[in-house]
A = this chain, B = another copy of it.
Amino acid sequence: MRRFAVERAKNIVRSYHRSLSSSFSFSSSSAMSSRKSSPVTLENINPKVIKCEYAVRGEIVMHAQRLQQELQAKPGTHPFDEILYCNIGNPQSLGQQPITFFREVLALCDHPAILDSDQTHALFSSDAIARAWQILDQIPGRATGAYSHSQGIKGLRDAIAAGIAARDGFPANADDIFITDGASPGVHMMMQLLLRSEEDGILCPIPQYPLYSASIALHGGTLVPYYLDEATGWGLEISDLKKQLEEARSKGIAVRALVVINPGNPTGQVLAEGNQREIVEFCKEEGLVLLADEVYQENVYVDDKKFNSFKKISRSIGYGEDDITLVSFQSVSKGYYGECGKRGGYMEVTGFCPEVREQIYKVASVNLCSNITGQILASLIMNPPKVGDESFESFSAEKDGILKSLARRAKTLEDAFNSLEGITCNKTEGAMYLFPRLHLPQKAIKAAEAVKTAPDAFYARRLLETTGIVVVPGSGFGQVPGTWHVRCTILPQEDKIPAIVSRLTAFHQSFMDEFRD
């Protein structure tokens, strides 16, 4: 069993490197032609940088950008008239509209000079104006252009803590909140804190969001994979967790933390409460930091599942700060707001001893603070309009419209994938992605190997060049060796979905006709 696990781990690493070499083969080859006079070459830069990979914006996306430029320069040069980016969770790039109330408050905080003018009341809702005043009063000198406390403006952290407490039914403390430029910098900070060498490991789900593998690579640690079970809707088996942990420890790796992404990216499952309790118990017993990626907490599309934060689960078991060390990541980029470009988010850090907390603060202080617009937005998503506020009805209509539409799109695309020969696709219970499995014919796999490409990357490239649809090969997320997937977002607007389904269907049929064994 163990040897099998090692083999799987090795294979994953290999599959990473395969797609790595495919992504950067041009680089490596042209490295030879590198200008003599340049003191910096691929051979003498930090090898951790070369090892790092981020498929969500990798080779396939760069290729899509080239095709888009060709389409703009010479329309009609390709069998499609637009590129459909289903590679990244970037809702507003595909037409999702921002929440009006949030944008009103941001605009007023950017230019407070207009707050005193009468015309402002004609342009902005009264509760947005009131909220802007409230926020400005929480900022020393109302200076939205000043560096803030390195954890973020105290009044905004109070609002976030109150939002967490209301969500969980357990208290939250503003001193535990670190507001960050999106969730990613918080993840990097934790990896930087925990990883001393490649003898330190982080348990990550496979498939995983490649930020984790990228950050672990950049910080020189070891990714210890555990497998989500596709057959049971990407279930998380504690027995597999235990096995992988023992396996890693037997190889002398000190496992520092467990990453859990709930709702799942790229896998779209929502963890059951009982499963979450097992995970908390496991981290407590094994002395692991629980790194809970909860950025999709607002994105749940099924009635029989609901989001529970790991903090709520821990506290409801009766575990406090002395029992479990927990970091929860949240972002303004996902949910119904999808404000990716604002780069706002926070991590809630609990169960660390004061002297380590001081070190986390010190690292945050080196970067001074996160952007104030993102900080304000992070407080708004955790404290949106309430019943009775002028904006409440329009806000609710915007929010529900987006979430209901995402649920419809998820179902339509899921059915479309499942209707295709040799493709099986689990339900998208939450998040923003489908992760269909491609049961590819041997002939297709051989064709891919012939061009030194992972079979799923081969499929994704063909799909792009034939239809303009951009998906990310499963090899960029990790998958059980010998299985192949793609990640496809549910984010194209509903009027685009029929075209996507028909193009995808037509492409897949001809692909199978070409490669069917």
Contact = CB atoms under 8 A, between A and B. Distances in A.
Interface of A: 24, 26-28, 30-31, 34-35, 37-42, 44-50, 52-54, 56-58, 88, 90-95, 98, 100, 103-104, 106-108, 110-111, 113-114, 117, 119-120, 122-124, 140-141, 143-148, 150, 181-182, 184-185, 192-196, 211, 214-215, 218-219, 256, 287-289, 322-323, 325, 333, 338-343, 351-356, 358-359, 362-363, 365-374
Contact of A362 (B37, B52, B120, B353): B52
A143 B92 contact: yes
A147 B93 contact: yes
Copies per complex of this chain: 2
Given A49-B192, A192-B49, A287-B39, A342 B371 contact: yes
A341 B371 contact: yes
B192 A368 contact: no
A57 B143 contact: no
A192 B39 CA distance: 16
Contacts of A359: 27, 42, 45, 49-50
A120 to B, nearest CB: 7
Contacts of A28: 355
Contact of A322 (B35, B90, B365): B35
Contacts of A185: 367
Given A52-B363, A144-B341, 14 more contacts: A24-B358, A27-B354, A37-B322, A37-B323, A39-B287, A46-B193, A53-B362, A54-B362, A114-B123, A147-B340, A181-B343, A184-B368, A341-B371, A342-B371
A182 B371 CA distance: 9
Contact of A39 (B106, B108, B288): B288
Contacts of A211: 366
Q: Which of A98, A110, A367, A373 has the most CB of B within 10 A?
A: A110
A156 B192 CA distance: 32
Contact of A119 (B106, B122, B367): B122
A86 B41 CA distance: 42
Q: Which 8 A-B pairs have the closest CB atoms?
A: A107-B111, A93-B146, A27-B355, A341-B372, A39-B287, A343-B371, A57-B365, A92-B145
A30 B352 CA distance: 13
A154 to B, nearest CB: 11
Nearest to A33: B353
Nearest to A365: B57
B93 A193 contact: no
B196 A340 contact: no
Contacts of A148: 341
A40 B372 contact: no
17 contacts: A27-B359, A39-B287, A45-B356, A45-B359, A52-B362, A57-B365, A104-B111, A106-B110, A107-B108, A107-B114, A114-B124, A120-B123, A145-B341, A146-B340, A182-B367, A341-B371, A342-B371
A57 B54 CA distance: 33
B372 A95 contact: no
A211 B28 CA distance: 33
Nearest to A39: B287
Given A106-B111, A123-B114, A341-B143, A352 B95 contact: no
A93 B143 contact: yes
B119 A100 contact: no
Given A46-B193, A146-B92, A146-B341, A353 B287 contact: no
A98 B343 CA distance: 22
Contacts of A325: 38-40
Contacts of A351: 38
A489 to B, nearest CB: 12
Contacts of A42: 355-356, 359
Contacts of A288: 39
Contacts of A52: 362-363, 366
A182 B368 contact: yes
Given A340-B368, A342-B372, A343-B181, A46 B192 contact: yes
B369 A145 contact: no
A91 to B, nearest CB: 8
A113 B88 contact: no
A229 B53 CA distance: 44
Nearest to A140: B93
A40 B356 contact: yes
Contacts of A117: 122-123
A367 B54 CA distance: 10
Given A46-B193, A107-B114, A40 B352 contact: yes
Given A42-B355, A341-B369, A359-B27, A90 B146 contact: yes
